[in-house]
Amino acid sequence: MKTLEVKLDSRSYPIYIGQGLLQNAELLSKHITGSSAVVVSNETVAPIYHDSIRHSLGKFRQSQVILKDGEQYKTPASLDSIYTHLLESRFDRGTTLLSLGGGVIGDITGYAAASYQRGIPFIQIPTTLLSQVDSSVGGKTGVNHPLGKNMIGAFYQPKCVIIDIDTLNTLPDRELSAGISEVIKYGIIRDPAFFGWLEDNMDKLLSRDAETLSYAILRSCENKADVVARDELEVTGQRALLNLGHTFGHAIETGLGYGKWLHGEAVSCGMVMAANLSHKLGWLTSNDVKRIRKLLTRAHLPVDPPREINERRFMELMSVDKKVLDGQLRLILLSGIGKALMTSDFDLQALRDVLAMRNAA
């Protein structure tokens, strides 16, 4: 098992990465301070993994909330069902919540923990690659509102993150690739050596080789933990760099209707669009654009924008991005592999050209 730390003074916490961790009663118990534990999961993940956790938590008073599966259930109503369960079963402030699932379950559980009786401890047990390398680390929690994704939430750090890579064995291929998109992102924005390692090891990663997965997750979490330690509340601009490709990607997700493309797929295409724009501005070499495109393609990810969204619609959708400041669109762009920056200083016509670009394929 590998351990690393998210360094946030009194809110610091460990991330454990290894195999068989759901069965490790000692590890799970170590971070539960009171006498009760409530597992929050969904109807897909719970039948596969809840028994292991239940067994490991044998000495605690325990219970569970099983939510429906899907982004459409990341709502205040799901949150409410957690509060209702906790109140009806008289779970007090000494209770620890454990989120068992992907990013949807992790975000909802984190916010339930942040708000129940003004805050109770919680543990992240992410079971998708995306949640293991991104959403379980860093304390962004919340639910969607009908008027906007992730609009109700809080920064609230977990007591620990337990990443059992064995859980990835049951993850569908498409979800694995969506997670790899965020892994590649760390290489592109700040870790060129890791990008090179991914070029050398993509086939092993796709075949779910345990050692390769373990290193990819470790390096991703090290990158994320470092960014979060420097800019926990996203005020200095460093954490915003994690959003490479996301402005284009959110436009694709919204434009096509949520659920058609997975988040990681839209981010993959968005990263190539950001690379294309950076190249048009003369900041990124064509060789670097090719390397980015090729690696994402090898991971079975889309790299060309959907034909259904034309340049005008892209502009419309991108203008509501959270990074718009004083009416100016700010984008994460690249000056090399490993060098990202947030800027509003780009030629608008170059952006329009990129939005209009379509590959012949």
Which residues are tagged catalytic? 118, 140, 182, 224, 234, 239, 243, 246, 250, 263
Question: For ligand GLY, which residue of 134, 222, 253, 265 counts as binding (CB under 6 A)?
Answer: 134
Binding to ligand NAD by residue 253, rule CB under 6 A?
Answer: no
Stretch that binds ligand NAD, among 60-68, 165-173, 202-210, 271-279 (CB under 6 A): 165-173
64, with CB counted inside 10 A (0-12, 13-18, 19+), is middle
Whether the CB-CB separation of 301 and 268 falls below 8 Å is answered with: yes
- Residue showing the smallest CB distance to ligand NAD in the complex: 103
DSSP string, 183-211: HHHHHHHH-HHHHHHHHHHHHHHHTT-HH
- Residue 124 and residue 99 in contact, taking contact as beta carbons nearer than 8 Å: yes
Nearest to 6 by CA among 155, 182, 212: 155
Pick from 170, 236, 286, 287 the residue near ligand NAD by CB under 6 A.
Answer: 170
Residue closer to ligand GLY by CB (options 204, 323) is: 323
Q: Measure the CA angle with vertex 281, ends 277 and 287; round to 5°.
A: 70
Could you say whether residue 135 binds ligand NAD (CB under 6 A)?
Answer: yes
DSSP string for residues in 290-348: HHHHHHHHHTT---S--TTS-HHHHHHHHTT-TT-BTTB--EEEEEETTEEEEES-S-H
- In this chain, which stretch among 27-35, 134-142, 145-153, 326-334 interacts with ligand GLY, using CB under 6 A? 134-142
Question: Between 269 and 351, whose beta carbon lies closer to ligand NAD?
Answer: 269
Residue type, 197: W
Contact 340, 266 (CB under 8 A): no
Site track for ligand NAD across 175-204, x = CB under 6 A: x--x--------------------------
* Identified binder of ligand NAD from the candidate list 165, 171, 205, 284, rule CB under 6 A: 171
Nearer to ligand GLY, 31 or 140 (CB): 140
Residue 165 binds ligand NAD (CB under 6 A): no
86/130 with CB nearer ligand NAD: 130
- Site for ligand NAD, residues 25 to 64, rule: CB under 6 A: 42, 44-45
Q: Are 319 and 351 in contact (CB under 8 A)?
A: no
Structural tokens at position 21: 């961790």
Strand partners, 148: 145
Among 18, 121, 138, 302, binds ligand GLY (CB under 6 A): 138
Task: List Cβ neighbours of 339 (8 Å cut-off, separation of 6 or more).
Answer: 190
Q: Judging by beta carbons within 10 Å of its beta carbon (0-12, 13-18, 19+), is residue 90 exposed, middle or buried?
A: exposed
Interaction partner, residue 150 (ligand NAD, ligand GLY, none; CB < 5-8 Å by kind): ligand NAD
Note the residues at the interface with ligand GLY (CB under 6 A). 134, 138, 140, 239, 242
Interface contacts to ligand NAD, rule CB under 6 A: 42, 44-45, 69, 71, 74, 101-105, 107, 127-128, 130-131, 134-135, 138, 140, 150, 167, 170-171, 175, 178, 263
